Amino acid sequence: MSHAPFTTTRQDGVIAGPVRRPDNFSKHAKGSIHDDATAQKLGFKGGTVAGNIHLEQFPPLMAELFGRDWYRTGNLSLYFLTPTTDGEPVQVFARAPVARDEGGMRAEVWMEDAEGRRVCEGTAASGPPDMESYLRQKLKAVRPAEDLRILKRSRVGDTCVDVPARLALSRNENRLKFITEPLAEYEDPAVWGERVAAPAIAIDAMREVETPLFKPDEAFVGMFGAIEVQWIDGPVFMEHDYLADGRLLALSESPKTEVAWFESTLRDAEDGREVSRLILMTRLLKGSSPLWT
């Protein structure tokens, strides 16, 4: 967490944000990938900082690249590469945005650790929903799974609809104590008319589809592999009633993981308008499941 001002530097066409040290917000969640003991047992150096926490470091850079309208109709599409642990220094980067044929702009974005390794990479955009985002390109290349055990009851195309989602203000306030980039709209309702949900909390609203969508066999430890947030008529507000619709997009595997991609669309419960859309890829670690060990 840091309350130092967000400032950028520019060199050779690259815009760099300040070095930050994100808090592993879920480090006390025993049995999760964020817990040191569990993560080390599975071969990691320590409990990992969640991908949605890393995503929260990007919004000030998005505002600089695209202006305030990014919070209403922008996109951020990130694929995670290198896990980090509690308090490790990381930095966000972007190249100058270029025009999209369908309107708006798109930029390459990424995060690096202190050794220059990419923590994540992807794209950010303004304008109409970005159907050529980094994750949508990745999805085109996904190879179907041949041997699923944890997710053997799941099928591509599975759906759920009208899942209630409401974000209690207390969740935002707890998150703001540790957030990497605090912004006025997360605390002051005057900015947008209501208090805006911090990105990790907004993602939680869209993740409400996970329980009805997935039917895993046996316990497992999972971790985010990729996250895309598309604001359609944003932002997402606290203490507001929404409905979420989910769809399973793809199932794949690697030697160490089972992989699920799903999409969730958040709608205003009163007027039905689409507010935001999430694409999330989660990795289910085979080494954590009795079905694989």
Q: Output the DSSP codes for 171-229.
A: HHHHHHTT-SS--GGGT-TTTTSSPBPPHHHHHHHHGGGHHHH---SS---EEEEEEEE
pLDDT computed for residue 2 by the predictor: 53
Number of domains in the chain: 1
In this structure, what token pair is assigned to residue 239?
Answer: 């203490």
In a domain, 233, yes or no: yes
Q: Which residue has the tokens 């991609």?
A: 261
In a domain, 1, yes or no: no
Where helices occur in the chain by DSSP H, the ranges are 36-41, 51-55, 59-66, 70-73, 134-140, 169-176, 199-206, 210-213
76's CB contacts (< 8 A; 6+ apart) are 55, 58, 62, 109, 122, 124, 228, 229
User: How far is 285 from 219, CA to CA, in rounded Å?
Assistant: 10
In this structure, what token pair is assigned to residue 143?
Answer: 């190879």
The strand pairing partners of 85, in sequence order, are 48
In a domain, 24, yes or no: yes
In a domain, 284, yes or no: yes
In this structure, what token pair is assigned to residue 274?
Answer: 């689409």
In a domain, 98, yes or no: yes
In a domain, 217, yes or no: yes
pLDDT computed for residue 88 by the predictor: 94
Domain extent at residue 144: 9-288
Burial of 42 (0-12, 13-18, 19+ CB in 10 A): middle
Of all residues in the chain, what percent are helix, strand and coil, respectively (each to 5)? 20, 35, 45
Q: What is the pLDDT along the chain (293 residues), one digit of tens a residue?
A: 556 889 999 999 999 999 999 988 777 778 788 888 888 888 888 888 888 999 999 999 999 999 989 999 999 999 999 999 889 999 999 999 999 999 999 999 999 999 999 999 999 999 999 999 999 999 999 999 999 999 999 999 999 999 999 999 887 787 788 899 999 999 999 999 999 999 889 999 999 999 999 988 778 988 999 999 999 999 999 999 999 999 999 999 999 999 999 999 999 999 999 999 999 999 999 999 999 98
CATH code of residue 212: 3.10.129.10
Q: pTM above 0.85?
A: yes
pLDDT computed for residue 3 by the predictor: 67
pLDDT computed for residue 107 by the predictor: 98
User: How far is 58 from 79, CA to CA, in rounded Å?
Assistant: 14
User: How far is 71 from 234, CA to CA, in rounded Å?
Assistant: 6
The strand pairing partners of 118, in sequence order, are 112
Residues 221/207, Cβ–Cβ less than 8 Å: no
User: How far is 5 from 277, CA to CA, in rounded Å?
Assistant: 30
B/e letters for 90-116, b = 16+ CB within 10 Å, e = fewer, are: bbbbbeebeeeeeebbbbbbbbbeeee
In a domain, 2, yes or no: no
In a domain, 121, yes or no: yes
